[in-house]
């Protein structure tokens, strides 16, 4: 297991809010399925955008690795929230998936037969082959989510980042979508941001709670105490819903059998 990304003492802010993230440290590994949770306004999306290079940090460092060698950057796929997608834009499913290749190369280029074959392979893997000629405005939320996932993985990234992927998607589709992610994680590291704590802990290998600082938990067997400390706000309970197999952990006293926790502030 090699590290992909090493974040050290990261501080990020905006003009009107100078300390959205403060002294955040985190390591993402090449086989990771990392869940990012935290309260609204805690800095989850800011962390994603900083890793993607869309925001320049005020302090700290982000280092990328390929194997054991440090490299200037990584090929990272990104799946945004679907409510940020303009469905009226006249573009086909096939073109959306192809655009994942354009991001890594020149903007205006001719697609080769190999590129188009790659689109067909990705679509087949995601169960959306019949959608390829359709306009994105004709798709359901669940179908569009798979198309965006295809766009994120077509260029064989080292890591894919997903921002609230279950937004506006029904629970049956969500279950199938997360099964797809589990399959993709055999080849690609995943960083998944969600407000749904119950879903996160049923899926991921490791968890980080972002709330200005960052609390990291190796493994997904988190306790109520860890969650209360990480959120640093009113107590919440871990509840599951839908058809995913959630752990349900209620308030309980800390004892020797409780999962080991630690934090990086």
Q: Are residues 125 and 229 in the same domain?
A: no
Count, residues in the chain? 265
In a domain? residue 245 = yes
Same domain, 169 and 194: yes
Domain identity same for 136 and 178: no
Same domain, 178 and 209: yes
pTM: 0.80
Q: 176 with 264, same domain?
A: yes
| Distance in Å from the first CA to the final CA of the chain | 24
Whether residue 68 is found in the same domain as residue 98 = no
Q: Is the pLDDT of residue 25 over 90?
A: yes
Where is the domain boundary, 114, 131, 155? Answer: 155
| Together in a domain, 69 and 163 | yes
**Per-residue 3-state assignment (H helix, E strand, C coil) for 11-33:** EEEECCEEEEEEEEEEEEECCCE
Domain end marker among 155, 180, 203? 155
Same domain, 130 and 162: no
Beta-strand (E) ranges in the chain?
A: 3-14, 17-29, 33-37, 59-66, 69-71, 76-79, 159-163, 189-193, 206-211, 213-218
Q: Residue 28: which of 214, 258, 230 has the closest Cα?
A: 214
Mean pLDDT of 122-137: 92
Using 50, 70 and 90 to split pLDDT, how confident is the model at 130?
very high
Specify if 82 maps to a domain.
no
Residue 140 has a pLDDT of: 84
Is residue 254 pLDDT above 80, yes or no?
Answer: no
Residue 23 pLDDT level (bands cut at 50, 70, 90): very high
Q: Which residue segment(s) compose the domain that 132 sits in?
A: 87-155
Give pLDDT, residue 112.
Answer: 81
Does one domain contain both 194 and 245? yes
Shared domain for 137 and 168, answered yes or no, is: no
User: Are residue 173 and residue 247 in the same domain, yes or no?
Assistant: yes
* Domain count along the chain: 2
Task: Judge if 147 and 185 occupy the same domain.
Answer: no
What is the residue-averaged pLDDT of the chain? 79
Residue 122 lies in a domain: yes
Residue with tokens 């900083």: 50
For residue 31, is pLDDT > 70? Answer: yes
Token pair listed for 178: 């997360």
* Contact present, 12 and 21 (Cβ < 8 Å): yes
Average pLDDT, stretch 32-41? Answer: 88
The average pLDDT across 73-80 equals: 90
């Amino acid at each position: 297991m090699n590290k992909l990304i090493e974040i050290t003492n990261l501080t990020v802010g905006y003009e009107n809010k100078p300390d959205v993230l403060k002294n955040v440290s985190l390591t993402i590994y090449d086989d990771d399925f990392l869940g990012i949770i935290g309260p609204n306004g805690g800095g989850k999306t800011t962390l994603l955008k900083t890793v993607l290079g869309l925001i320049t940090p005020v302090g700290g460092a982000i280092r990328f690795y390929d194997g054991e060698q440090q490299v200037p950057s990584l090929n990272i796929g990104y799946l945004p929230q679907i409510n940020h997608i303009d469905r009226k834009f006249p573009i086909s499913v096939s073109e959306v998936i192809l655009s994942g290749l354009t991001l890594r190369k020149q903007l205006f280029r001719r697609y080769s037969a190999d590129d188009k074959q790659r689109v067909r392979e990705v679509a087949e893997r995601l169960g959306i082959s019949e959608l390829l000629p359709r306009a994105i405005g004709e798709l359901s939320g669940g179908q569009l989510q798979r198309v965006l996932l295809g766009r994120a993985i077509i260029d064989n990234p080292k890591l894919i980042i997903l921002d609230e992927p279950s937004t506006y998607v029904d629970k049956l589709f969500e279950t199938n979508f997360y099964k797809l992610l589990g399959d993709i994680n055999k080849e690609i590291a995943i960083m998944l941001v969600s407000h749904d704590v119950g879903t996160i802990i049923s899926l991921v290998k490791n968890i980080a709670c972002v709330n200005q600082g960052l609390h990291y938990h190796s493994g997904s067997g988190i306790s109520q105490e860890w969650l209360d400390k990480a959120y640093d706000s009113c107590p919440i309970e871990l509840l599951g819903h839908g058809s995913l197999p959630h752990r349900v952990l209620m308030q309980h006293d800390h004892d020797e059998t409780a999962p080991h926790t630690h934090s990086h502030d």
